[in-house]
Amino acid sequence: MSKSALTRNVHQQKLLVIFEGGLGDAISVAVLLILMAKKYNLSIDIACHYHTWRYVFVPMGFTGNRLDFPVEIRRIAKYHYVQPDLTAFILDKTEKWRRCIMEELGSAYGVDMSTFSGTYSIPPHILQRMKLPQKNEIHVGICFESKGKLRSYPDDLALRLLCGLVQMGFEVYHLGTRPNAAVEGLQLRGYYNYLGKTDIFELAALIKQMDFVIGMDSFPVHLSNILGIRTLALLSTTLPGIYRCHKNVRCMQSEIECTPCGEVMDKCPYGYDTCKAFYHPSISPERILGKVICECADLFKFKLKSA
Please say if the pLDDT value at position 2 is more than 60: no
- Exposed/middle/buried for 74, CB within 10 Å: 0-12, 13-18, 19+? exposed
Please say if the pLDDT value at position 86 is more than 90: no
CA 60/CA 55 separation, integer angstroms: 9
pLDDT digits (tens, 9 = 90+) for 261-280: 765 566 788 888 778 999 99
Cβ atoms of 69 and 18 within 8 Å: the answer is: yes
* Residue 83 Rama label (left phi>0; alpha psi -120 to 50; beta): beta
Using alpha carbons, select from 207, 227, 178, 199 the residue that is nearest to residue 54.
Answer: 199
- 33 pLDDT band, cuts 50/70/90, is very high
Please say if the pLDDT value at position 304 is more than 70: no
Asked whether this chain's domains 12-113 and 130-306 adopt the same fold, the reply is yes
CA 30/CA 119 separation, integer angstroms: 11
Give pLDDT, residue 215.
97
Q: Sketch the domain layout of the chain as residue ranges.
A: 12-113, 130-306
Please say if the pLDDT value at position 250 is more than 60: yes
Give pLDDT, residue 291.
95
CA 259/CA 254 separation, integer angstroms: 8
Give pLDDT, residue 93.
59
Using alpha carbons, select from 173, 59, 75, 163 the residue that is nearest to residue 119.
Answer: 59
The fold adopted by the segment(s) 12-113 is Rossmann fold (3.40.50)
CA 111/CA 33 separation, integer angstroms: 10
Give pLDDT, residue 3.
57
Residues with Cβ within 8 Å of residue 153, at least 6 apart in sequence: 144, 145, 146, 161, 216, 234, 278
Cβ atoms of 66 and 46 within 8 Å: the answer is: yes
Tell me which range, 20-29, 116-125, 207-216, is most confidently predicted by mean pLDDT.
207-216
CA 220/CA 233 separation, integer angstroms: 10
What is 130-306's CATH number, 3.40.50.700, 3.40.50.2000, 3.90.1300.10, 3.40.50.720? 3.40.50.2000
- Exposed/middle/buried for 255, CB within 10 Å: 0-12, 13-18, 19+? exposed
pLDDT digits (tens, 9 = 90+) for 36-74: 999 999 999 999 999 999 999 999 999 999 999 888 888
- What's the mean pLDDT when you consider all of the chain? 87
